[in-house]
Each structure stands twice: as C-alpha cells, then as structure tokens.
Amino acid sequence: MTTPRIIFAGTPDFALASLTALVESGRVPIAVLTQPDRPAGRGKKLTASPVKQYAEQRGIPVMQPVTLRDESVVADLAALRPDLMIVAAYGLILPQNVLDIPVQGCLNVHASVLPRWRGAAPIQAAILAGDARTGVSLMAMTAGLDCGPVFHIEEIEIGVNETAGELHDRLAALGGATLIAHLDDILAGELVSAAQDEARTTYAPKIEKQDAAIDWSLPAAELVRRVRAYNPFPGAYCFVGAASAANSGLKALPPLKPLPQGCRLKVWRATAVDGSAEPGTVLRSDRNGIIVASGAGALRLDELQLPGKRRATAQEFAGQLDLSGQRLE
C-alpha cells in the first residue's frame, strides 16, 4: 500500500499524541496545520503549540493560518495534494472548500463517545455529568459541529476520582492508538462509517474561567465533579466572604497574616462528606481536613492553593490558617 499523503491539523497536547503515533508508525505528514503562536505563562511570552514544537523538531513543514477562509490558504493546502487530513483538537472550523481538498476527506479524532458531547470540552462535560464511561471517536468530518458519520468508537471507564487532566492524558493516548489501529482500514474502504443518532446528541461548550466558581448551594456530590472537571483548567475557586473577613476570627500562625477580605482560594481536590449548615460555612478546619457545608452534605477540601503560592494539602493549609466558622463565597 502506498504511503498516504496526510496533512495533520491539531494544536494542544491531546493532538500531539495522535501526531506522535502517526510519525512513529511511519506515516509522517507532509504538513502540519496548527494555531498561531500565543502568549503563555506569567511573562506572556509568545509560545508555539505542542504540535508545532514537535513538527519542527522532526522537520515537518508547519502552517499557522489565522483563518481557513483565506483563499490563498485554501490554495496552498490544495497544492499539497493530500489524500487525507487528520484533525485532532485543531481549534479552527474547517469550511467546506477545505473539507473537499483531501481525496479521502477529513478524519477527526474526538474525545467522546459521539453523539454524546459534541463540541469544545467533551472531557470536562463527561465528568460534570457524572458519566461512568467515555471514549474516543474516529469521525468523518462534515461542515456541522462533530456531526459526521463515525468509523469507530473506543470506550473506557472514568475513574471515580479522576480529574479532567488525568482523563485527558488517557484519552489522548487512546486517540493515538485508535487512530493507528484503524487508519489503514479506513483508507482502504474496509471500515464503513455509520451516521450518528441525532436524538442522543449532547453538547459540550467551551470552558470559561467563570464556570469554575464554586456555588456552595449545590450538592456536595456535584461540587466534587466540578472540582474534578476543572482540574487543571481553570481550577475550581471560591473567596473568603467579605462579612467573614470583617468579623475576622481568622487565626494565623506567625509569620503568616490572616487571609484578606475577598481572598481567592483554588480547590484542586475535594471529597463529599456528611455535614449540614448554611452553604459555604466552614464546619471544621484542622489537620484532619477543611470541611465546608454545601446545599446537600458537605465538601472536604483536600488540596488548596492561595494566590502566588504552591498547592497544599488540607493538612498543610490548616496548620497555617484556621478557617473554622468562616464563610466561603
């Protein structure tokens, strides 16, 4: 079988796993499409995507158009005469004239069991919804949002305490392995795609930072899922309430000062436990844990972070600051 001429389109680490699998299987793309370099880190230094960094290290030509609706970009892609375009978390919509360029179309590696969780954040959505299973879908791309026919789905269970970051890494590796396992059959026409069941469609919108604000009126079980889903981005967070800080009672061990009014706390890991009080009330704050009342039950904060500080276990945190009787908002 002749080695296919493949263009790979992807940007973050999830896409990198599929690109790496392609290269290691001997199917080196003729070009890579990835998002333009973006500011990153505290210094906001212009940074290349993981896919671009990998491609450049291996001498694969890289294209970084701002949009795919530029006719000159479309012409450049067509001039490459690709047999197939493989897309994984690219970040730009492919218009129809781009979808039509590859002889055998465009194949998408998507991190969900389609048609469940079409859209930008399927991993987080699966955790938020309490799904027991998720997976990776190999889909023939059409002009709609993740609505093309599916060639193959590989499923896995979601761990009870698994975070979005941990699940992401497993799905990224699964995506690369699944792509390689079925690519030849797709190209040979031996694996036939099947239309998605539109009646079962759900959508996973892009995650915004404000989505991760903790609403203490929600049940503890739901808050645990939110903490898991927003770890590592953007990180679930809450604030020390204004009234609490005004009536302080916050006790700190030298040389640390009490937490100021409105201080932001990030919560990286948490567990649902028994407890009852006005939602947001800290029921206990000691080396055995920090427990906060919620709309149903309570949340034990297992790993926290103050602004500009490293992450700390509840035991480390409570050994420095006493939040007993305080309110979190």
Q: 65-77 pLDDT, tens per residue?
A: 999 999 999 999 9
Q: Which pLDDT value is given to residue 241? A: 65
Q: What is the mean pLDDT of the chain?
A: 91
What is the pLDDT confidence band of residue 193, given thresholds at 50, 70 and 90?
very high
257 pLDDT higher than 50:
no
Would you state the pLDDT for residue 55?
Answer: 98
The 10s digit of each residue's pLDDT in 139-171 is 999 998 999 999 999 999 999 999 999 999 999
Angle, helices 13-24 vs 164-187, to 10°: value is 40
Non-local (6+) Cβ contacts of 32 within 8 A are 7, 8, 9, 10, 19, 51, 52, 55, 60, 61, 62, 63
pLDDT at 260: 59
Q: pTM of the entire structure?
A: 0.92
Q: What's the pLDDT score for residue 235?
A: 97
* First-to-final CA distance of the chain: 61
Q: Rounded to an integer, what distance in angstroms lies between the CA atom of residue 192 and that of residue 140?
A: 10
Give 227's contacts (C-beta < 8 A, 6+ positions apart): 214, 236, 267, 268, 269, 270
Question: Which pLDDT value is given to residue 251?
Answer: 46
- Tell me what percent of the residues of the chain surpass a pLDDT of 70: 93
Residue 250 above 60 pLDDT? no
pLDDT in the model for residue 259: 59
pLDDT at residue 127 is higher than 90: yes
Please give the C-alpha separations between residue 197 and each of 145, 148, 182, 200, 314, in angstroms, as whole numbers.
14, 11, 22, 6, 45
pLDDT confidence of residue 131: 98
pLDDT for 124 equals 98
Q: Residue 221: which residues within 8 A CB-CB, separation 6 or more?
A: 272, 296, 297
pLDDT at 3 over 90: no
Q: Which residue segments constitute the domains of the chain, with CATH numbers given?
A: 6-204 (3.40.50.170), 209-322 (3.10.25.10)
Q: Which pLDDT belongs to residue 280?
A: 93
275, 297 contact by CB (below 8 A): yes
pLDDT digits (tens, 9 = 90+) for 213-231: 999 999 999 999 999 999 9
Query: How do 264-273 and 298-305 pair as beta strands?
Result: antiparallel
> Given this model, what pLDDT does residue 252 score?
44
The partner residues of 140 in beta bridges, in order of sequence, read 107
Summarize pLDDT for 97-113 with one digit per residue, the tens: 999 999 999 999 999 99
What's the pLDDT score for residue 287?
75
| Contact (CB, 8 A) for 38 and 9 | no
Measured distance CA(148)–CA(151) in Å, rounded: 10
Q: What is the mean pLDDT of residues 302-326?
A: 82
Q: Are 225 and 181 in contact (CB under 8 A)?
A: no
Check pLDDT > 50 for residue 293: yes
User: Of 209, 215, 214, nearest to 232 (Cα)?
Assistant: 209
**Can you give the pLDDT at residue 261?**
60
What whole-number distance in Å separates Cα of residue 10 and Cα of residue 18? Answer: 9
DSSP SS3 for 275: coil
Half-sphere exposure of 57 (CA within 13 A, CB side): 11
